[in-house]
Structure 1
Amino acid sequence: MIRSGISFWKHCSAFGKRVIVIAFILAFIASSAMVKLAYIQLLDGKTTAEAATASRTTKQVLQAERGTITDTNGIVLAQSVERYTIIGNPKFAATFKPTTCTKKTASNCHSIDGKPVGVTGPAAVARLLAPVLGMDALQLGALLTGTNQYVVIKKNVVPSVKRSIDALNLSGIISAELSSERTYPNGTLMGSLLGGVDTDDNGVSGIEKMENASLTGTDGYQIYQQGANGQQIPGTETESKAAVNGATVKLSTDRDVQWYVEKALKEGQEKYKAKWAIAVVQRVSDAKILALAGTDQVEAGSAEAKMNPSLAVTETFEPGSVGKIISLAGMLQEGTHKITDEFSVPYSIDVDGQQYHDSESHGTKQWTLAGILQNSSNVGMVMAGDQYTTAQRYEYLTKFGIGQPSGMGLSGESQGLLSSSENWDRRTRNTVLFGQGYATNALQITNAVATIANKGVKQQQSIIDSVTSADGTVTKPKTSSTQVVSSTVSSEVLNAMESVAENYKSVAAVDGYRVAAKTGTAEVAGSNGGLTSIVADWVGVLPADNPQFVVTVVMKDPQGTYGGLTAGPVFANIGEFLMQKYEVPTSTPRKDAIPVDW
């Protein structure tokens, strides 16, 4: 057999030999291909199929929506609205050939005003897409030219435009990624207080930052196979997890009250030429904040709102004579004096080599302890503090919340400054009796007076009413309360405060309602470092006979100086609005006034 083959080969022509060699080579290639095919089908088929499937499989992130912030009535203050980022695939755009519209292709064809597109590739895509996005076709065509597979064409596209893009039949070449835009429908209302978010939708200031954990949702995903042009292949979804949107945060603030307070502050600032003004409205029954405002009006969500916390949260000041409320309550609670105790009060007094005097010159006055508060006598407070120890003075300041964190968690909030009594010098131990030598913020002094209005019970302040998760679970802030002074003491202090307010009926009355209040005026450091600036404040309780609200107004460098003559009228303006809005019954006549002189 072999010999015959050799003989055959010897007698073959050169052409025949070449044919035989080629035949053998082709047979070898064919047999090798058959072996490889058999291996793939019989031994490696599963692996190859899995690799092919993997190359087509993609994971799409389903973006969660940031939660909404509302006021106490459900009115939206901050929300995320549906937006899209339009993405182009230049690699696929390069091979795009428009499909002419006929009866058969009507559902998946391309035309411009009923006419053929006229070009192919990126230029064709640009001609179709540019009018929908309001972009220049030449610039868009340039964006879509190249070999990469991802280019951002336009951000923050509204849903209606996205739907128009879907109708262009450019799937795989043009896609849309769901995103969101944070909007604040009320402009400057609560601007700095609401704060803002960064480009990743994380809260960076204000309530957006304070409640970021609640407002931030959890992204979901969808796993599916895609075709050659990047389009999803129907029925190939293998796994998905729905996005969970952020919770709805309901504030205790009332938009209408906030709006009116901001308006009243701005008018007061202009009238008295003040550098700034801030105000707090707090409900007595539960320590909820109904308004927290300043004259630093900026757009919510703006760069300025993100950089600068609200003045109402950050500003600290000596409360001045408002601090006498705390000293009086402490003295009565410790039993060092009674509210009716009688004093002969001179204009000035010398104690331990330190001289103290009242704001206005006067002869010796015959005042009760209630009268000392009514007339805001610094000398009288020093005299009444004869048995009130340094340790007790510090104890009651801290019990009423001075120099302590409010617990509200507001971004940028200062806790003020109260040094330990061990560090007080001979002068400071007495100046703290009349609101000097320490610093507070508007929230702290408001809650201190609210404690008096609430029968001596100090409650945890809050600006959050509730947090409702995506599944409907409602969470309320934790509450706490502490009895700081007895209800009898708080009643007596409130009575004395009502006598204070009666001194200002001509400028700070609220018609039909009794008011309990205290004014304050403190010298503070000016731009040159000296005591050249003034902080004037007024804290009032409405109505005095049935406490519903505490309103604090603080002004920096007002023309008119004294808190009763500047912050007082602004308080009255706000108070009238509150009484009308909440339809508070008018007050009964006052018949239990504690004597203020003797």
Structure 2
Amino acid sequence: MKLEGALYPWRFRVVLALLAVMVGAIAWRIIDLQVVDHDFLKGQGDARSVRHVPIPAHRGLITDRNGEPLAVSTPVTTLWANGKELQAARDRWPALAAALGQEPKAFAQRLEQSAGREFMYLVRGLTPEQGEVVLDLKVPGVYAIEEFRRFYPAGEVTAHVVGFTDIDDRGREGVELAFDEWLAGVQGKRQVLKDRRGRLIKDVQVTQNAKAGKALALSIDLRLQYLAHRELRNALTEFGAKAGSLVILDVKTGEVLAMVNQPTYNPNNRRNLQPAMMRNRAMIDVFEPGSTVKPFSISAALQSGRWKPTDTVDVYPGTLQIGKYTIRDVSKNEGVLDLTGILIKSSNVGVSKIAFDIGAESIYSVMQQVGLGQDTGLGFPGERVGNLPNHRVWPKAETATLAYGYGLSVTAIQLAHAYSALANNGRSVPLTLTRADRSVAEGVQVIPESVARTVQGMLQQVVEAPGGVFRAKVPAYHVAGKSGTARKATVGSKGYTQNAYRSLFAGFAPISDPRIAMVVVIDEPSTGAYYGGLISAPVFGKVMAGTLRLMNIAPDNLLPPVEQATVATTTGQGVTR
């Protein structure tokens, strides 16, 4: 084209060239987006309509050692609503409130307050059938989410061990918290299409499958757990006690076979739950163990080489003055006692004189080695370590109190662990709350085997000899143990609370080949009696008898009925502590 009369014809050509370049660029961009790089437009479209909805993961099953379920996950329906959409369906609110079982006026007020929100929970944890009834109303703005809720078949019997999860299915107490990562699993993802109002248009596909949590087999035997729970509850009722704990261990494998506490709670219904009911007292409550630690003081004496079982101590007149402090025996002991007699009579004077001879360091070393005042390694949430004092220079008063169980603090699980080492011929095995597929676990020799066997025989006499704790006896089995009675320290000040005691009994069986160790702690019995031999020993006897039978452990004391009756008559005249 020829431009006549134009002063600057090249300018027009430049403009045409620029327009052609722009048209070409636009055309190329259209081709690029539609043909070459079509993922961009697809991504932009998906960003406005494609959503990823989480798929809840099935939490892992918790079972006892025999496969009995202790915690299972059940599917539930959670209903939520878009507050803006619900405002357009006010006439449906009464029907929706009725289907949800809520008071219409309060429900309407709640929806008014959430009018500007695009997400609000209506109700969580409905059964699928209940959720379907509400969804069948087809109220605009009401939607459902699939979730899982934890259910505990054993209820209050295993509550303190298993624990519970919160409304979001996360572990909050007990094993549920300690093994939360193992049990939780991984959520999946589902791709869906939604319109601009958030309404579901199409369920496209599952982009990531949910990965269920792993199953967990505990060392707990549900049969023993029920047995211990029943007998401990009955004892608290009979003696008017405030609380109690009972622990059963397998001395060979270190497995915790049962752990119960009172008071307890129902993890399936926590509406009226009080914080005190949630305490796993066997692991959290610390106390002075009293006379139950005297066997370890005797073990230290034998281990020192300065004492033999036949050596005697003059305990007359049953008191010992140390400055302003007076040590007293509960029993009126006259004359001399050998080491076994000191344990049978539970002589504070006798064990104190032994402690003065061998030194507190020896006793401290044995108590530390068997696990008193030490971390058990179970990793249980909130577990207390207690306190085992260690002085650079041990005064006489502190030496004596350590020897007969005051001035230190332990938990029931620590005391049971210590007795399991004594029962296992002086070998301490690590504790475990999960099932151990082994018959014998590796351990550490913390007490010489000869010393441990000697003390086992002494503790057998504590139960079976005339004047012993006969209430702890188990028919057809030889058992060993030691009772204890400890005054309760005053909270917030020095000294002890008036007329407040803990009654204890710790022992193991059968003597021929010890397999089971057990500790019973009963807090503040109020019926008048409070000695461990009167309160805790009968519980030990009943639970130990059932445990040995259920674990199919062979009897080692099958005496003729007449002879057995004679023994019971003789020992029934003794004094217990």
How high is the TM-score relative to the length of structure 1? 0.77
The CA deviation string for residues 463-504 of structure 1, in whole angstroms up to 9 with x for no partner, is 2227xxxxxxxx99x976210112211110000001000134
1:512 to 476, 479, 489: 476
Contact 2:265–2:278 at 8 Å: present in 1 too? no
The range that moved more, 579-588 or 328-337, is 579-588
The CA deviation string for residues 85-109 of structure 1, in whole angstroms up to 9 with x for no partner, is 2234566779xxxxxxxxxxxxxxx
2:156 counterpart SS class: coil
From the superposition, tell whether residues 91 and 436 of structure 1 become closer, same or farther in structure 2 (CA, over 3 Å).
closer
The whole-number CA distance in structure 2 between the counterparts of 1:142 and 1:344 is: 79
The whole-number CA distance in structure 1 between the counterparts of 2:31 and 2:85 is: 35
The range that moved more, 182-191 or 225-234, is 225-234
The CA deviation string for residues 215-256 of structure 1, in whole angstroms up to 9 with x for no partner, is 22222223344467733546x54x712122222222211222
- 1:87 partnered with 2:56: no
The whole-number CA distance in structure 2 between the counterparts of 1:126 and 1:385 is: 78
Aligned residue runs from structure 1 range 456-467, under 5 A: 456-465=426-435
TM-fit CA distance, 1:314: 1.8
Q: Which residue of 2 aligns with 1:486?
A: 448
- 1:447 partnered with 2:440: no
- 1:252 partnered with 2:219: yes
Amino acid at match of 1:156: G
The whole-number CA distance in structure 2 between the counterparts of 1:91 and 1:252 is: 52
The whole-number CA distance in structure 2 between the counterparts of 1:180 and 1:316 is: 37
For structure 1, list consecutive stretches of 5 or more residues without a partner in the other structure.
1-33, 95-120, 467-474, 591-598
The CA deviation string for residues 265-305 of structure 1, in whole angstroms up to 9 with x for no partner, is 12112222222222111112212111111221222263536
Contact 2:57–2:213 at 8 Å: present in 1 too? yes
Q: Which residue of 2 aligns with 1:411?
A: 381
1:363 to 334, 354, 371: 334
The whole-number CA distance in structure 1 between the counterparts of 2:421 and 2:158 is: 26
1:547 to 511, 514, 518: 514
- 1:525 partnered with 2:489: yes
Amino acid at match of 1:324: K
The range that moved more, 69-78 or 125-134, is 125-134
Aligned residue runs from structure 1 range 372-383, under 5 A: 372-383=342-353
Q: Which residue of 2 aligns with 1:205?
A: 173
Aligned residue runs from structure 1 range 304-343, under 5 A: 304=274, 308-343=278-313
Aligned residue runs from structure 1 range 159-238, under 5 A: 159-162=128-131, 174-226=142-194, 230-233=199-202, 236-237=204-205
The whole-number CA distance in structure 2 between the counterparts of 1:386 and 1:122 is: 85
Contact 1:523–1:534 at 8 Å: present in 2 too? yes
Amino acid at match of 1:380: G
The whole-number CA distance in structure 2 between the counterparts of 1:552 and 1:317 is: 13
The range that moved more, 527-536 or 160-169, is 160-169
TM-fit CA distance, 1:323: 0.9
Aligned residue runs from structure 1 range 76-115, under 5 A: 76-89=69-82
TM-fit CA distance, 1:44: 4.5
- The share of aligned pairs that are identical, in percent, is 25
Aligned residue runs from structure 1 range 22-101, under 5 A: 41-42=30-31, 44-45=33-34, 46=38, 47-89=40-82
From the superposition, tell whether residues 537 and 176 of structure 1 become closer, same or farther in structure 2 (CA, over 3 Å).
same
From the superposition, tell whether residues 177 and 40 of structure 1 become closer, same or farther in structure 2 (CA, over 3 Å).
farther
Q: Which residue of 1 aligns with 2:360?
A: 390
From the superposition, tell whether residues 150 and 358 of structure 1 become closer, same or farther in structure 2 (CA, over 3 Å).
closer
Q: Which residue of 1 aligns with 2:246?
A: 279
From the superposition, tell whether residues 147 and 537 of structure 1 become closer, same or farther in structure 2 (CA, over 3 Å).
closer
1:244 counterpart SS class: coil
Contact 1:219–1:244 at 8 Å: present in 2 too? yes
Q: Which residue of 1 aligns with 2:406?
A: 436
Amino acid at match of 1:363: E
Amino acid at match of 2:261: G
Larger radius of gyration: 1
From the superposition, tell whether residues 130 and 283 of structure 1 become closer, same or farther in structure 2 (CA, over 3 Å).
same
1:362 counterpart SS class: coil
The whole-number CA distance in structure 1 between the counterparts of 2:82 and 2:339 is: 82
Amino acid at match of 1:493: V
The whole-number CA distance in structure 1 between the counterparts of 2:161 and 2:294 is: 30
The whole-number CA distance in structure 2 between the counterparts of 1:196 and 1:281 is: 22
The whole-number CA distance in structure 1 between the counterparts of 2:121 and 2:332 is: 74
Q: Which residue of 2 aligns with 1:266?
A: 233
Contact 1:83–1:159 at 8 Å: present in 2 too? yes
TM-fit CA distance, 1:455: 0.9
From the superposition, tell whether residues 544 and 166 of structure 1 become closer, same or farther in structure 2 (CA, over 3 Å).
same
TM-fit CA distance, 1:152: 3.4
TM-fit CA distance, 1:462: 1.8
The CA deviation string for residues 293-343 of structure 1, in whole angstroms up to 9 with x for no partner, is 122122226353698421222222211111111111122222221222234
Contact 1:322–1:518 at 8 Å: present in 2 too? yes
TM-fit CA distance, 1:137: 9.3
1:512 counterpart SS class: coil
TM-fit CA distance, 1:456: 0.7
Q: Which residue of 1 aligns with 2:460?
A: 498
The whole-number CA distance in structure 2 between the counterparts of 1:449 and 1:272 is: 26
The whole-number CA distance in structure 2 between the counterparts of 1:263 and 1:246 is: 32
The CA deviation string for residues 355-393 of structure 1, in whole angstroms up to 9 with x for no partner, is 43322223212x322222222222222333354133222
The range that moved more, 336-345 or 424-433, is 336-345
The whole-number CA distance in structure 1 between the counterparts of 2:195 and 2:356 is: 89
Amino acid at match of 2:75: E
From the superposition, tell whether residues 505 and 130 of structure 1 become closer, same or farther in structure 2 (CA, over 3 Å).
closer
The CA deviation string for residues 546-577 of structure 1, in whole angstroms up to 9 with x for no partner, is 21211211122333222111111111121222
2:553 to 574, 584, 587: 584
Amino acid at match of 1:274: A
The whole-number CA distance in structure 1 between the counterparts of 2:426 and 2:249 is: 16
Contact 2:163–2:175 at 8 Å: present in 1 too? yes
The range that moved more, 337-346 or 316-325, is 337-346
TM-fit CA distance, 1:414: 1.7
Q: Which residue of 1 aligns with 2:568?
A: none
1:215 counterpart SS class: helix
The range that moved more, 194-203 or 270-279, is 194-203
Contact 1:284–1:450 at 8 Å: present in 2 too? yes
Q: Which residue of 1 aligns with 2:11?
A: none
Contact 1:296–1:310 at 8 Å: present in 2 too? no
The whole-number CA distance in structure 1 between the counterparts of 2:214 and 2:474 is: 40
The CA deviation string for residues 161-220 of structure 1, in whole angstroms up to 9 with x for no partner, is 4556777788x9553212222222333223233333333332222222222222222222
The whole-number CA distance in structure 2 between the counterparts of 1:194 and 1:403 is: 24
The CA deviation string for residues 125-152 of structure 1, in whole angstroms up to 9 with x for no partner, is 7799778656799968995996865443
Contact 2:477–2:558 at 8 Å: present in 1 too? no
2:302 counterpart SS class: helix
From the superposition, tell whether residues 307 and 214 of structure 1 become closer, same or farther in structure 2 (CA, over 3 Å).
farther
The range that moved more, 378-387 or 485-494, is 378-387
From the superposition, tell whether residues 520 and 50 of structure 1 become closer, same or farther in structure 2 (CA, over 3 Å).
closer
The CA deviation string for residues 394-451 of structure 1, in whole angstroms up to 9 with x for no partner, is 1111101111111112222221221113264320112211212211111111111111
